[in-house]
Amino acid sequence: MNILHISTEKKWRGGENQLCNLLSQSDPTKYKHHILLHKKANFSERFKALGTVHLMAMLNDLDLFSAWRIARLCLKNNIQIIHAHTAKGHGLAILSKKIANVFGLHLKLIVHRRVEQSSNLSWIRRKKYISGTVDHYIAVSKAISEGLVNIGVPAAKISVIYSSIDESPYINRIGLRPISRRNLLIGDQPSKNQSKALDLEQPIIFCFIGAVEPLKGVHDLIAAWENLLSHLHSKGLETVAEKCRLFIVGEGSLLEELKLKKPRNTQFLGFRKDVSQILCGCDVLVLPTHWEGLGSILIDGALAGAALIGSNVGGVPEIIENEVTGLLTPVSDLKSLEHAMYRCLDLPFRKSLAETARPMIKSKFSVSRMIDQTQRVYRKISGQ
């Protein structure tokens, strides 16, 4: 089966990571993958061992010239299925399928949705989603699936296939924990006095990892964090407050503003490539988001052994079962968020959450499961 994957992103994001996971364990005797990327994509080299890579400008989802070139590519390589992984790729794939059909190539089209689709769409945008040209949708969560149904996509045309996480960075999580905590707490080159004075397991490390944007609720987290520390001091628990540490990992429009607030016991680490190692040193991962298609960073957190706190919104409850695998809080409810963090100060409680979450995550969000379910969709729509 010949499949063309379309990603129009220029930078590596979650969708590109999922595509890489999908192709990494594909059976080359059954599936031949072609990967169409933006010519300015900074990650094209990563895919060269996984399939045949093609590069193209792809200006927008109504770029007729690119659509014609994609149709020619499909004709030349006898493509049977187009799998669009981005919104721009969705529009281009519809045009390409129609052009290829004129030349006698009857393609099947799958569109992957990883973010919420607003119900307040213009007529032309809504038509893109309910177009009969799309044969099937893959949604990364039930929340995304429900959003598609709300704009008119038949439920029978949607499969929910959860994003997958590569477990390999966390296999040695216990061995990585002291290294990660030392680097977080005293830097890469601590003095001898620092190394002797600090018990690396004494601090309670909370982490936020993601875009530092309003939608992610980072400003809510900072406010709730300050309230937590003030509450501890008011109860005479200064020593506990001193142990609490918050690390904000990521970049975004709110970063400088939040830095100026100089929240207590907080460090802003910016963009980091060693996220998996940071997570191995984290006690509690907090995602106070206002909306999330799934919240895959929580999956990473669970595999790393962190307790999870997340907003009760979007796909987050599909990862966190409240009071069982983590704690859910209402969106922008600072008191609930503060209380959830307060409860996670208790070592046995947060360990119980983490130990319950890890096996569930390994089963529900495995790479092999995602690949198997996706290939079932390929076979179903191609009639095999």
CATH number (domain holding residue 148): 3.40.50.2000
Same domain, 355 and 373: no
329: β partners? 311
Question: Are residues 202 and 346 located together in one domain of the fold?
Answer: yes
159 plus 21 within the same structural domain: yes
Same domain, yes or no: 111 and 245: no
C-beta contacts of 343-350 below 8 A and 24+ residues apart: 344/204, 344/206, 344/283, 344/284, 344/307, 344/309, 345/204, 345/240, 345/244, 349/307, 350/283, 350/284, 350/307
Count of the separate structural domains present in the chain: 2
> In terms of domains, do 193 and 150 share one?
no
> Angle formed by the axes of helices 347-364 and 296-304, to 10°?
120
Residue 5, H or E segment? strand 2-7
- The answer to whether residues 353 and 277 belong to one domain is yes
What kind and span of H or E run contains 299?
helix 296-304
The dihedrals phi and psi of 272, each to the nearest 5 degrees, come to -135, 140
Which of 242, 185, 243, 253 is CA-nearest to residue 219?
A: 253
Regions of the chain with pLDDT less than 70: 117-124, 187-198
Same domain, yes or no, for 138 and 275?
Answer: no
Strands of the 32-38 sheet, one edge to the other: 52-56, 32-38, 2-7, 81-84, 108-113, 136-139, 158-160
| Tens of pLDDT, residues 148-186 | 999 899 999 999 999 998 888 999 999 999 999 999 998
Secondary structure of residue 49 in the 3-state scheme = coil
What pLDDT is attached to residue 166? 84
- Together in a domain, 113 and 203: no
What residues make up the domain containing 10? 2-164+366-382
